Structure 1
Amino acid sequence: MAIPPSPPATGGTATADGWPQGAILIVDDEPGMRNFLVKVLAPRCRFVACAGSAEEGAEWMRTERFDLVILDIALPGQSGVQWLQTLRHQGFEGDVILITAFASLDTAIDALRAGASDFILKPFRVPQILNAIRQCHERARLRRENFVLRRAALPSRSLGTPLIGDSAATAQIRAAIERLAPMPSTVLLQGESGTGKELVARALHALSPRAQGPFVPVPCGALPAEDIARELFGHAHGGRAARDGLFVYAQGGTLFLDEVADLPLPVQASLLRVIEERLIRPVGSQQAVPVDVRIVAATRRRLADEVAAGRFRDDLYYRLRVVDLTLPPLRERAEDIPALVAHFIGVLAPALGVPPIAVGPEAMTLLQQYRWPGNVRELRNWVERSLILGEVNVSALYPSLGAEAAAPGAGAGAAGATPEETVPLDLESLQRRHILAVLDTVGGDKGRAAQLLGVSRRTLERRMAEWAAQGLVRT
């Protein structure tokens, strides 16, 4: 027997009197006890199901997700303690309250060993069972918080830095965050890898009314396609251990869907329903679960192009981009680089236990000319590497550019460059082009150029003489 769910409270997490919403399974062979518990719990819970035996309870567990089981010990067939042991062996992690009219010390010990959350003697009063259920809900809430904290402690691709810089582009992003954070609207963040999409998502959460709730990042591109639905929406008991999805763990907070363009089309359809109905349906369950979650999605690819190519649902695209915020690449806000470098040195030097390094004006100019294909993440890594080596090695950046991404001032317009060097085809040409660009930056000062390049002046002069003999440079 199942009791239809009562109308969910605002947000879907608690009733008006603060009672936590949830799904409860009652397993007792006495109809009177089942009816009593249903009368008490149905007005307070999202969903209540009843069974007269462990076998009937197992049928419910195969198709529904339950937050709590109230289980009588003395049942026909398999006893309550035996079934509880089976549930734990199968991976059920929810709370189980055992009830009995025939208590003994041995029974209580067996119940605790089997994994019971509480042990109540019949007959009991309404406040007693309600308090026990509240304590179970609180333990479940703490488990969810611990799960979120453990995920937050894992290595993250987040840049781990506030929005640094005074460029016009950074000021616009900062103003947009302050304007959008208090709103409940879904936000779509677009931009190249390393531009700080997760950083902005965390800022939106921290400045929102949901700041006390969890921030749950979901790396959509890193999850196996066959497991994404279970990770997001959870799954009912059956075939594998029942588990809450990340939507449940994000209750009252923000769910950050990173690289949302990587979601398979069937999961996109399910996500669309969640956004529209604010209900999730765990895999293998017929029961919908209300959720109170703000969604922030991010992608490095243009979703409009993905829609045009048929890889992303257009209806989901329009649902996600209630507000669309595009983060500029670092090359479009090069004036922020000095402040970012100073910030990373200040943060990383103490963490690494090394002295800070000084980045001179010539080196900073080269950093600002570099196109930074990896954006702020690449800049951070460069600072960390420089701190570890104890020197500013700007020259290490330029050979990795290639012809298409050459730094400004390093092409044919560099001092001494010949026309055929406009598109270098080999490493030797790239190296020559870079050295000439450095010389041009320092006004032809070979001593300063050698210092920036990390070579001796004698080596630099020898290379210049070789290129002059080949007619590749003018002396």
Structure 2
Amino acid sequence: MVHEAIPPTQEAGSASGLAEGRWPEGAILVVDDEPGMRNFLVKTLAPRCRFVVAAASAEEGEQWMRAQRFDLVILDIALPGVSGVQWLHTLREQGYGGEVILITAFASLDTAIEALRAGASDFILKPFRVPQILNAVRQCHERARLRRENYVLRRHARPSRSEGTPLIGVSAATERLRAAIARVAPTPSTVLLQGESGTGKELVARALHAASPRAAGPFVAVQCGTLAPELLARELFGHARGPHGAHDGLFVYAQGGTLFLDEVADLPPAVQASLLRVLEELHIRPVGSQQTVPVDVRVIAATNRPLADEVAAGRFREDLYFRLRVVDIELPPLRQRREDIPALVEHFVATLAPALGVAPLEVDADAMALLQQYHWPGNVRELRNWVERSLILGEVNVSALYPPLRERPACAPGQPLDLETLQRRHIQAVLDSVGGDKTRAAQLLGVSRRTLERRAAEWAAQDGSAR
């Protein structure tokens, strides 16, 4: 929807049914004192952009900037009152990091230099033709898109090691998960994914995004426990000032898409409070800024620790917990969907063998039966790693999952192994492979060192009592 010089107190709409060739993320503010130029630019850009408004002065443009976030400002230099270059300086000092195209009918080399020093992205002389302004706008959007992608990849995004689509398998647990994704994906509701490490929470989040109306928008994932509280706030909400200038946060970069907050239980208290406010108000306040920025983002959160327990322990806000779990999806561990293991193994062999440049391997029925009997404490991630290791070594080595224990005799042939013994053997094998380094073993197993030490102490006590 297009608006010409509408007071910011009125509601501004957005266009729907975006046609090919449009810039769906493009919210543009046109500031020019000439009604004819404003009308020309609005009519030219409206069919191609999500949102276009026009103002007749810097003062009126300032009102719009306080009410709405703009990806691009097209700004006339010769304005009544505050000039375009003066207002551009103010915008940059206030932390506006978007693109700015300066336009003027009275240009000189000094004017152009001053405009670029003030932070203009482009400089166009009047009169200009439609292709010229469209090309400039297109280049601005492309620069902004590349800047967002580079920021996400460089500053926060973890490389996603595919553990197989969560929809692979025929077990009842997988069918329930498939049905939950189909039911929840089309809604705008916040989703909380809970499950053990390695169960594929990020993959489910990506499946929800891909099946949602936001699929054309970005999917931005952030690991909440990897940064200090003050840095995490800057990453999520942006900052108005800093050593490298103003910068948008991940909420802005996820506009129109999905923001995935992995291991949300690790959020520090201050960031929990800020996140709650964002979910309630749908606005963010960049660090160091007095202005709020509207956001249009679906939040999917995930944790491998029961969040209700974190609330009960006083480590997580109860009000935020209820905001996040509008929809709660529990991901089953692999031991609860053993019927899926053959299909997962087949999938991993088919995808990993070409990537590794090795020949695929056949897993016979006896080996598959042992794989299905194993406890898999690391879940699907551990299964994937086992397949990768087998491909690299060129053999299906199931026995690596069941090392013999010196403390106890091996089971008789054909006798089923209980889950406790299977888990102990696997953990002992991992410890042996890293020379007893419990920190490294815990990382490989996908558990905390404290959990590993607790299990080792339990087994030591059992061995002592057995003697």
TM-score scaled to structure 1, two decimals?
0.68
Aligned residues: 403
Is 1:273 equivalent to 2:277 in the alignment?
A: yes
Q: What's the secondary structure of 1:222's corresponding residue?
A: coil
Match of 2:188 in 1: 184
Is 1:120 equivalent to 2:124 in the alignment?
A: yes
Match of 2:215 in 1: 211
2:171 touches 2:340 (CA, 8 Å); kept in 1? yes
1:6 touches 1:47 (CA, 8 Å); kept in 2? no
Q: How far is the alpha carbon of 1:202 from its aligned partner?
A: 0.7
Match of 1:293 in 2: 297
Q: How does 1:130-141 map to 2 (within 5 A)?
A: 135=138, 138-139=141-142
Match of 2:323 in 1: 319
Residues 174-197 of structure 1: CA deviation (Å, up to 9, x unaligned): 111111111111111000010000
1:22 touches 1:47 (CA, 8 Å); kept in 2? no
Match of 1:385 in 2: 389
In the alignment, residue 143 of structure 1 is paired with which amino acid? L
Aligned in 2, Cα 1:341/1:47: closer, same or farther, shift over 3 Å? farther
Q: What's the secondary structure of 1:386's corresponding residue?
A: helix
1:255 touches 1:293 (CA, 8 Å); kept in 2? yes
1:90 touches 1:240 (CA, 8 Å); kept in 2? no
In the alignment, residue 173 of structure 1 is paired with which amino acid? L
Aligned in 2, Cα 1:246/1:336: closer, same or farther, shift over 3 Å? same
Q: Distance in 2 between matches of 1:390 and 1:146?
A: 38
1:258 touches 1:298 (CA, 8 Å); kept in 2? yes
Q: How does 1:185-264 map to 2 (within 5 A)?
A: 185-237=189-241, 240-264=244-268
Is 1:332 equivalent to 2:336 in the alignment?
A: yes
1:148 touches 1:214 (CA, 8 Å); kept in 2? no
In the alignment, residue 253 of structure 1 is paired with which amino acid? G
Q: How does 1:292-441 map to 2 (within 5 A)?
A: 292-399=296-403, 414=412
In the alignment, residue 312 of structure 2 is paired with which amino acid? A
Q: How far is the alpha carbon of 1:274 from its aligned partner?
A: 1.5
Residues 73-97 of structure 1: CA deviation (Å, up to 9, x unaligned): 689xxx9889989999999753232
Match of 1:449 in 2: none
TM-score scaled to structure 2, two decimals?
0.69
Q: Distance in 1 between matches of 2:350 and 2:399?
A: 23
Q: What's the secondary structure of 2:177's corresponding residue?
A: helix
Q: What's the secondary structure of 2:225's corresponding residue?
A: helix
- Structure 1, 202-211 or 394-403: larger mean CA deviation: 394-403
1:188 touches 1:321 (CA, 8 Å); kept in 2? yes
Q: Distance in 2 between matches of 1:211 and 1:401?
A: 50
Aligned in 2, Cα 1:179/1:20: closer, same or farther, shift over 3 Å? closer
Aligned in 2, Cα 1:49/1:270: closer, same or farther, shift over 3 Å? farther
Q: What's the secondary structure of 1:284's corresponding residue?
A: coil
Aligned in 2, Cα 1:139/1:387: closer, same or farther, shift over 3 Å? closer
- Name the Cα RMSD after superposition: 5.1
Match of 2:146 in 1: 143
Q: Distance in 2 between matches of 1:199 and 1:178?
A: 14
- Structure 1, 155-164 or 258-267: larger mean CA deviation: 155-164
Q: Distance in 2 between matches of 1:300 and 1:383?
A: 24
Q: What's the secondary structure of 1:296's corresponding residue?
A: strand
In the alignment, residue 205 of structure 1 is paired with which amino acid? H
1:187 touches 1:325 (CA, 8 Å); kept in 2? yes
Q: What's the secondary structure of 1:216's corresponding residue?
A: strand
Residues 331-362 of structure 1: CA deviation (Å, up to 9, x unaligned): 11112111111111111111111111222222
Q: Structure 1: give runs of 5+ residues left out of the alignment.
A: 404-409, 432-475
Q: Distance in 2 between matches of 1:172 and 1:224?
A: 37
Q: Distance in 1 between matches of 2:375 and 2:15?
A: 45
1:21 touches 1:45 (CA, 8 Å); kept in 2? no
Aligned in 2, Cα 1:308/1:400: closer, same or farther, shift over 3 Å? farther
